[in-house]
Amino acid sequence: MKIITLEEHFEIAEIKKAVARFLPASREQFYQPPTRQLEDLGGHRLAEMDAMGIDVQVLSHTSAGLSLIPAAEAIALARAINDQLAETVQNHPDRFVGFATLPTSDPEAAAHELERSVTVLGFKGAMIHGQTNNRFLDDPSFRPILETAAALDVPLYLHPAPPSHVIQDAYYAGFDPAVSASFATFGWGWHLDTGIHALRMILGGVFDRYPNLQVLLGHWGEMIPFYLARFAEALTPAASQLQRPVADYFVQQMYITPSGMFTLPSFLLAMQVVGAERILYSVDYPFHFQEGGQARAFLENAPISPADKEKIAHSNAERLLKLSSLYHSDVKK
C-alpha cells in the first residue's frame, strides 16, 4: 500500500538565522526542535521515510516567524524557501511534493508567490501558519490569497502556530514556564486557535465566495469533529447570511489528517464525521519521527475496509493534489 503524507516539515538554517534578526528576544525556550532531521533533505530523510514505510512526503517549511517580520524581508525569504524546495523536489520527484511558504504579511505579494510556486515551481498548495498580525484568513485583507488558491484549484493547509501573546497571557499563564508554554501551544492552545481559524473562515463566508476552495486541518481536525454537531446546531440559525448549513462547509471543503497522532478513537470519530474520502495521512515529520514506526502499522491495522485504507493512504491525496502528473523532473526555477 502506497502512503503519501501531507504534513512533513523541513527548515533552512540560513532562513532561520535571517528571520531571527528581525524578531524580538524570544521567551524562555522549553522545546528543542529536531534540527538535524529538519535540515536534511537528502539521504537521511529518505532512509527514515523508507524505515517508516512512507513513499512520498509533501514538504513544507516550518513557520520560522515569517509573519512577524517586515513584509519586504518576508517576501524575499519566502521566495528563497520555495526555490530551494523546488530544487529538492526536482532532485527526488518520486519522493517529494511541495507546499509553498507565503509572506502573508503582504497578501498581494503572497498571492503572487502562490501563483509562481504552483505554475512555475510545480507546487501543489500552500501552508499557512496561524494568524498574521492577529488576523485570521476570514479577514478581507487576505482575499488575494484565497482568490488565487481557488483560481489555481490548490488547497491551503492551516497549521498551528502560537496564539497571540495577549491570549497566552490571559488563558495559559500562571504556571511553571514550561507548563504554560506547552499548554499554550502543542498541549492545547494552538490546536484550539487553529480550529477557531477554520470556523471563522466558515462563519466569515469564505467558502461562499470561493466554493471550490479546499482547506486541510491536522491533528484529526483541530478539535472541530468532536463539537461539530454542537457548533452546527447553535450557529446555523444565527449565521443566516450563509448559503448552506454550517456543518456542510466542514464536511465538504475541509480535509483532516492525523499529524502523527495515531489514536484510534480520534480516527474513528473522524471517519464518522467526514468519512474516508476526507481523511489524508500525515506523520508530522520530524516532530513525531519517534512514532514513525507506527505510521504504516496504524493504518494497516485500522478496523476499516481495504478500499478506505487505500483512499486515506494515497488516493485522496493523489486526487486533491493532482499527482498523476507529478513524476517528472522538468520543473523550472
Mean pLDDT score, 248-270: 96
Neighbours of 132 (CB within 10 A): 25
Amino acid letter at 232?
A: A
Contact 198, 254 (CB under 8 A): yes
Q: What mean pLDDT is reported for the chain?
A: 93
Q: Is the pLDDT of residue 20 over 90?
A: no
Q: Collect contacts of 109-115 with beta carbons under 8 A, ≥24 apart.
A: 109/71, 109/75, 110/78, 110/144, 110/145, 111/144, 111/145, 111/147, 111/148, 113/75, 113/78, 113/79, 113/82, 114/145, 114/148, 114/149, 114/152, 114/154, 115/148, 115/152
Which residue from 47, 143, 52 is spatially nearest to 92, judged by alpha carbons? 47
Give the model confidence (pLDDT) of 45-54 as tens digits: 999 999 999 9
| Model confidence at 81: pLDDT above 90 | yes
How much is the pLDDT for 171?
97
Q: For the chain, what is the radius of gyration of the CA atoms?
A: 19
Taking residues 72-93, what's their average pLDDT?
Answer: 96
Instruction: Give the residue numbers marked as catalytic.
Output: 284
**pLDDT at 59 > cutoff 90:** yes
The predicted structure's pLDDT at residue 332: 38
Residue 64 pLDDT greater than 80, yes or no:
no
User: What per-residue confidence (pLDDT) applies to 63?
Assistant: 84
What is the CATH number assigned to the segment(s) 4-325?
3.20.20.140
Q: What is the pLDDT of residue 2?
A: 96
Whole-model pTM? 0.94
User: Measuring CA to CA, which residue among 86, 213, 222 is closest to residue 151?
Assistant: 213
pLDDT grade, residue 295 (50/70/90)?
Answer: confident
pLDDT digit string, tens, across residues 180-239: 999 999 999 999 999 999 999 999 999 999 999 999 999 999 999 999 999 999 999 999
Asked if 110 and 145 count as a contact pair (C-beta separation under 8 A), the reply is yes
What residue ranges do the domains of the chain occupy? 4-325
Average the pLDDT over 95-111 and give the result.
98
| Predicted pLDDT at 191 | 97
